[in-house]
Amino acid sequence: MNRQRRGAAECLLRIAAVAAAFCTLVAAAVSLFFHAGRAEAAAGASSAVVIEASTGRVLYAESPDARAYPASTTKILTALVALENLPLGLEVEIPACAAGVEGSSIYLKAGERLTVEELLYGLMLRSGNDAAAALAVAVAGSEARFADMMNERAKECGAANSNFVNPHGLHDENHYTTARDLALITAEAYKNADFRRIASTRSITVGEGESRRYFANKNKLLGTFDGANGVKTGFTTKSGRCLVGGAYRDGMQLVSVVLNRYDMWEATRSMLNTAFDAYEMKDVFSLPAAESGCRAVEVKLDDKGNPHPAAYPVKKSGENIGVVLS
- Known binding residues for substrate are 232
Alpha-carbon distance of 263 to 37, in angstroms, equals 9
Residues at the binding site are: 232
Please say if 127 is a catalytic residue. Answer: yes
Single out the catalytic residue among 72, 104, 239, 256. 72
Would residue 7 be called left, alpha or beta, if left means φ above 0 and alpha means ψ between -120 and 50 degrees?
A: alpha
Counting beta carbons within 10 angstroms of the beta carbon of residue 61, is it exposed (0 to 12), middle (13 to 18) or buried (19 or more)?
middle
Pairing of strands 252-259, 240-249: antiparallel
Tell me the torsion sign for CA atoms 90, 79, 233, 104: positive
Single out the catalytic residue among 46, 47, 54, 75. 75
- Listed in sequence order, the residues at least 6 apart from 206 whose beta carbon sits closer than 8 Å to its beta carbon are 114, 117, 118, 121, 122, 212, 213, 215
Single out the catalytic residue among 46, 47, 104, 127. 127
The type of residue at 12 is L
Q: Which of 99, 259, 90 is nearest to 169 (CA)?
A: 259
Please say if 75 is a catalytic residue. Answer: yes
In this structure, what DSSP letter does residue 247 have?
E
Please say if 220 is a catalytic residue. Answer: no
Q: Is 203 helix (H, G, I), strand (E, B) or coil?
A: strand
Are 323 and 307 spatial neighbours (Cβ–Cβ below 8 Å)? no
Annotated active-site positions, please? 72, 75, 127
